Structure 1
Amino acid sequence: MVERQTADLDRVFHALSDPSRRAILRQLTAGPRTVGELADPLPMSLAAASKHIKVLEQSGLLQRQVQWRTHLCRLNPAPLAAARTWIDEYEAFWDQRFDALTAWFEDRDKDDQEK
């Protein structure tokens, strides 16, 4: 179970690591788009854009529906929840570290003022 979750999370972060794929996801926040519509604003060929779309599809962030020759893509935000949970765990860790650092500086300033 943990290995599958790790693999799923790895695919999501891999998909998010590329600016072109993030641009595709941004487009999908406005609603479903065809592959051609997603590829159009990107500075690459349709074939290259299709490879990026396939990575997003494999990560689960994009769902593709084929209607005859038209491939309609939709955003699936569910896999982002796992990524958000993972990030939140580290946010709590860093919040504790920064709180400790702030307390240390406050104690130091207080000691300096008492001298």
Structure 2
Amino acid sequence: MGGETDWLWVRLLDVPRALVTRGWFADGELVLDVDDPALGEHGRYLLTVRDREASCVPTDREPDLSLDVSDLGSLYLGGTAPSTLVRAGRVRARHPEVAALADTLFRADRSPHCLHWF
């Protein structure tokens, strides 16, 4: 038996807190419209990154990216580029430049890796 298996998942329960505590490598600003159908929650957040520090607050601004919390988990880990999920139809981008900015913001210095399955 061969092939690849996906063993590493993350589900963000507190989106603003998770994004504020994540490591960031570029400055920028995005409005994320996040849907969590399992918990029946929906939120729109302004993510601002300056000098490797992030703030994430609720906002009424138009979203740059609209996505499910499961897709946000993939972006959070840094193993999947936002533009990949946009092309796959999983994430909606307000305009093409937003996907490029999101790629820059959500990049990681290392790909996620899980040594053990659980």
Q: Establish whether TM, by shorter chain, passes 0.5.
A: no
User: Greater helix share, 1 or 2?
Assistant: 1
User: Greater strand share, 1 or 2?
Assistant: 2
Q: Normalized against structure 2, the TM-score is what?
A: 0.26
